[in-house]
Chain A
Amino acid sequence: MAVSIHIADTIRSVVPALPKQVTVEISKEKTLHEAALEVGVPPVLIVFAIVDGVRKALDEPVGESAQVHFYGTMAGG
Chain B
Amino acid sequence: MLPGYAGTILRIDLTQDKIAKQPLPAEMAHSFIGGRGFVAKTLFDELPPQADPLGPENLFIAASGPMSGHFMPASGKTHFGCKSPATGGYGDSNLGGHFGPSLKYAGYDMLILTGRAPQASLLVIEDERIALKPAGDLWGMGSIATEARLKAELGDAYQILTIGPAGENGVVYACITHDFGRQAGRVGIGAVLGSKNIKAIAVKGTGSIPVADPKAALTEGLNAFQAIRTKPGFTGWTPEGTAGITDWINRVGAFPTRNFQTSYWDQHTQINGAAILRELKITDKGCYCCPTPCGKYGKARTGLGDVYVEGPEFETISLLGSNCLIGEISEIAYANYVCDELGLDTISAGVVCSWAIECYEKGLLDRETIGRDVQFGDLASVVHLLECISRREGIGDLLAHGVKTAAQKVGQGSEAFAIHVKGLEWSGYECRNAPGMMLAYMTSDIGAHHARAWVLGHDLAGSSGSVHDLIASKGKRERLPKSEVTGRAANVIASQHLRPLFDLLGICRLQFMELGFEVEHYERLFAVITGNPLSWDDMLAVSEKVWHLTRSISARELQGFGRAWDYPPERFMAEPIPDGPNEGHCISRAEIDILLDEYYDLRGWDRNGLPTAATLERCGLKAVARTMATWACHGDG
Contact = CB atoms under 8 A, between A and B. Distances in A.
Whether the complex brings A and B within 8 Å at their CB atoms is answered yes
Interface of A: 6, 8-11, 13-15, 33, 37, 42-48, 50, 53-55, 58-59, 67, 69, 71-77
Nearest to B513: A74
Interface core residue of A6, A10, A13, A74 (most chain B CB under 10 Å): A74
Nearest to B470: A44
B232 A53 contact: yes
A37 B239 CA distance: 27
Contact of B239 (A13, A55, A59): A55
Nearest to B494: A13
Interface in B209-266: 232-233, 235-237, 239-240, 242-246, 248-249, 251-252
Contact of B513 (A33, A37, A75): A75
Contacts, number: 109
B62 interface: no
Classify chain B's interface size. Answer: 35 or more
**A-B pairs with the 7 shortest C-beta distances?**
A76-B314, A50-B236, A74-B513, A75-B454, A77-B315, A69-B232, A50-B232
Contacts of A42: 460-461, 467-468, 470
Interface string B466-478: 0110111010000
Interface of B: 232-233, 235-237, 239-240, 242-246, 248-249, 251-252, 313-315, 318, 427-429, 450-451, 454, 456-458, 460-461, 467-468, 470-472, 474, 499, 509, 513-514, 516
B465 to A, nearest CB: 8
Nearest to A8: B516
19 contacts: A9-B516, A14-B457, A14-B461, A37-B468, A42-B461, A43-B471, A44-B467, A45-B467, A47-B248, A48-B244, A50-B233, A54-B236, A55-B240, A71-B237, A74-B499, A75-B513, A76-B318, A77-B314, A77-B427
Given A47-B248, A71-B233, A77-B313, 5 more contacts: A14-B458, A37-B468, A50-B233, A75-B451, A77-B428
B153 to A, nearest CB: 32
A62 B339 CA distance: 43
Given A11-B457, A14-B458, A53-B236, A74 B450 contact: no
Contacts of B244: 47-48, 55
A13 B246 CA distance: 21
B457 A45 contact: yes
A74 B458 contact: no
B293 to A, nearest CB: 14
Nearest to B480: A44
Nearest to A46: B248
Given A10-B514, A10-B516, A73 B239 contact: no
A14 B461 CA distance: 7
Given A37-B468, A50-B236, A74 B514 contact: yes
Contacts of A76: 242-243, 245-246, 249, 313-315, 318, 428, 450
B248 A48 contact: yes
A75 B472 contact: no
B476 to A, nearest CB: 12
A47 B248 CA distance: 6
Interface core residue of A13, A67, A71 (most chain B CB under 10 Å): A71
A44 B313 CA distance: 22
A6 B230 CA distance: 13
A63 B233 CA distance: 20
